[in-house]
Chain A
Amino acid sequence: MREYLGVSPRLGTPMATHEFPRLRHGLGTPRTFAWAALLAMPVAMYFALAFAPREATMGNVQRIFYIHVPAAWVAFLAFFVTFVASGVYLYRRQERWDILAVSSAEIGVLFTSLALVLGSLWAKPVWGAWWTWDPRLITTLFLWMVYVGYLMLRSAIEDPTQQARFAAVFGIVAFVDVPIVYFSIRWWRTIHPVVFTGGGLNLDTRMLVALLVGLAAMTFLYLALLSLRSAIEAVQRRNAVLLQELEEREEA
């Protein structure tokens, strides 16, 4: 990516030279986060599969928890970043915030899908069904659909400024579902396990350590994907603007 990003300074436009370097410095390089994620992931797998004790009732299937919860955490974090970036975009109208919002939303959809799939894989042997119409599951599925809608809305609007403005409003409103997902197991009757209770964490110490390592590793992976996805989006937009300018110059 570095070689690509450093490509010909002549290709620079006011958007590219002004926006892109600041975006890069703000997020760190994709390579730094990629290395952090690559180092953290095997450690997280060791803690999930070997360090954490075998759960007495569910057996080894419970270990899915150490990747399911971090996936859900990253999804929430990604949608929060979209929420903040959307708000800042509406306030400042700087393109880099829109780039950050769309990149984070796409990764949020990926990790929500992962949380849903892993939850389903855990539920089959434990609940005896791949899916049940439980409040936590319904609100999570709704969250996934809302952000898929966000991405579809973006692709449906051609004018870039209008697209960014509408998406920013959508990105702010859509975030309302995140606390609903989180509190659904407290507000409504549910069969979903409650780990984070009002009285603290409902976990064995070694299980908690494995969970925290998993959360850290998945956060590094999110940052690596976000910085790479944002960089791609920035160059994609710069190329689109350049192509338009070159075509206009050709016609003149």
Chain B
Amino acid sequence: MDNLWYLTAAFSIAWIIILGYVLVLARRQARLQESTHYLEGLIQEQEGR
């Protein structure tokens, strides 16, 4: 099979781009989870007063 290494590289680059975006979304989700915990803490603090 000719140019197989080149084809593999091309498909790998495509998957790296897609997985990179999935990782970006995962990081955003983790940050949101932190901010939700922070907000829950604030609400509990205000309700406790």
Chain A contact residues, CB within 8 Å of chain B: 1, 4, 7-8, 10-11, 45, 49, 54, 59-61, 63-64, 67, 71, 107, 110, 113-114, 117-118, 121-122, 125, 221, 225, 228-229, 232, 235-236, 239, 242-243, 246, 249-250
Contact B39 A221 (CB under 8 A): no
Contact B14 A118 (CB under 8 A): yes
Residues of chain B within 8 A (CB-CB) of A114 are: 14, 17-18
Which residues of chain B in 1-49 are interfacial with respect to chain A, using CB atoms and an 8 Å cutoff?
1-4, 6-7, 9-11, 13-14, 17-18, 21-22, 25, 28-29, 32-33, 35-36, 39-40, 42-43, 46
Chain A interface SS verdict (over half): helix
Closest to B44 in A: A10
* 19 sampled A-B residue pairs with Cβ under 8 A: A4-B32, A11-B36, A45-B11, A59-B2, A60-B1, A61-B10, A67-B11, A114-B17, A117-B14, A117-B17, A121-B6, A122-B10, A225-B21, A229-B25, A232-B28, A235-B32, A239-B39, A243-B39, A246-B39
Residues of chain A within 8 A (CB-CB) of B13 are: 117-118, 121
Contact B39 A64 (CB under 8 A): no
Contact B17 A110 (CB under 8 A): yes
Q: In whole angstroms, what is the CA distance A227 to B36 when docked?
A: 20
Closest to A45 in B: B11
Residues of chain B within 8 A (CB-CB) of A45 are: 11
Residues of chain A within 8 A (CB-CB) of B33 are: 4
Contact B36 A239 (CB under 8 A): yes
Chain B interface SS verdict (over half): helix
Residues of chain A within 8 A (CB-CB) of B35 are: 239, 243
Q: Taking the nearest CB of chain A, how far is it from the CB of B20, in angstroms?
A: 9
Residues of chain B within 8 A (CB-CB) of A243 are: 35, 39, 42
Residues of chain B within 8 A (CB-CB) of A122 are: 10
Residues of chain A within 8 A (CB-CB) of B43 are: 8, 10-11, 246
Q: In whole angstroms, what is the CA distance A236 to B3 when docked?
A: 45
Residues of chain B within 8 A (CB-CB) of A125 are: 3, 6
Contact A61 B6 (CB under 8 A): yes
Q: In whole angstroms, what is the CA distance A7 to B2 when docked?
A: 53
Contact A64 B10 (CB under 8 A): yes
Q: Most chain-B Cβ atoms within 10 A of its Cβ — which of A60, A64, A117? A: A60
Residues of chain B within 8 A (CB-CB) of A249 are: 46
Closest to B35 in A: A239
Contact B25 A228 (CB under 8 A): yes
Residues of chain A within 8 A (CB-CB) of B28 are: 232, 236
Return the contact of A113 from the options B7, B17, B25, B39 (Cβ within 8 A): B17
Residues of chain B within 8 A (CB-CB) of A232 are: 25, 28-29, 32
Pairs A-B, 7 closest by C-beta atoms? A121-B10, A59-B2, A60-B3, A60-B7, A246-B42, A64-B10, A61-B3
